Structure 1
Amino acid sequence: MEIYLEMLEEKHFQAPLQFEKENREYFEKSVPGRGETYYHFETFTEIQRTLIKEQIVGKSYFYMVKNLDGVIIARVNKVDLDKEERCAHVRYRVGEAASGKGVAKKAVQLLMSELREKGITRLYAKTTLSNKGSQRVLENNGFVKVDLDECEDIL
């Protein structure tokens, strides 16, 4: 499946909210829920505006992953960007309809490519022990599994 990344902007708030609502039950099978208020437009908008402020100062970047029809099928983020340490954390979530189609792997590849161009040489990601699909995505993108005790300083 061909995809592209589009950086989150204020004009996008309705579509990501719809994506999150449509996939809420699916996401909550493998990751902790975000609470009921997250899905109210006012709360969601406030949270997204905070994320955009992080983008402006270069701390984090948030992307919608879209198919060639322009439909959001996933989200991928680089957070806690530290240019001095040349590291960042990668986070992503793929909607149920796009799950198992290589979207996460490709989205992480696109994000990693962009980060390399910006001089970032270390990436971190974490997943739950039960999320085998996410573990495979990370391993297929060159991430090495470490014990949480080994990375307390980065959590």
Structure 2
Amino acid sequence: MTSPTGDLDEQTDVTIHCEDNPSVGVKFCDRFGFDQDSVHYAIEIRAPGLNARVDEVVAWVWDSDLAPFLEELAADYRGWDGERSWQTNDRDLTVSAVFRSGGHIGVTWTLRPWPKATGGWAASVTTWLEAGEQMSSLAADVRHFLAG
């Protein structure tokens, strides 16, 4: 389930809670922009024993962004075979999805700041969402967040 937070006139964060385990979640927050071509934001993931954050994920206007990927997952609510994935241009955020019987989508959110740096780190959580309305709501919330 997703829940936008904040007033309409203020910056809105997006929080995703796993349907199977509410202690697992993802939060899009602290959106800011440097220019007309990009929006920058932070993303946090959490699970029992895990809290991770990347402070500067970049979504480029000219690049395929996350919202259309999530919209495609929502549109395919009847399911698909295999795994689908998307990543930022800098590869610091990767999102992959699988469909399971019963109409649920497992979305794995992987943070990997400085992916080419020696000694870098990576952390992942998987949120399970209902394939229809919850995925559609998530896609709309992320589109709104990225559009500002």
Give yes or no for TM over 0.5.
no
Q: By percentage of residues, which structure has more strand? A: 2
TM-score relative to the length of structure 1 = 0.29
> Which has more helix, going by share of residues?
1
- TM norm structure 2: 0.30
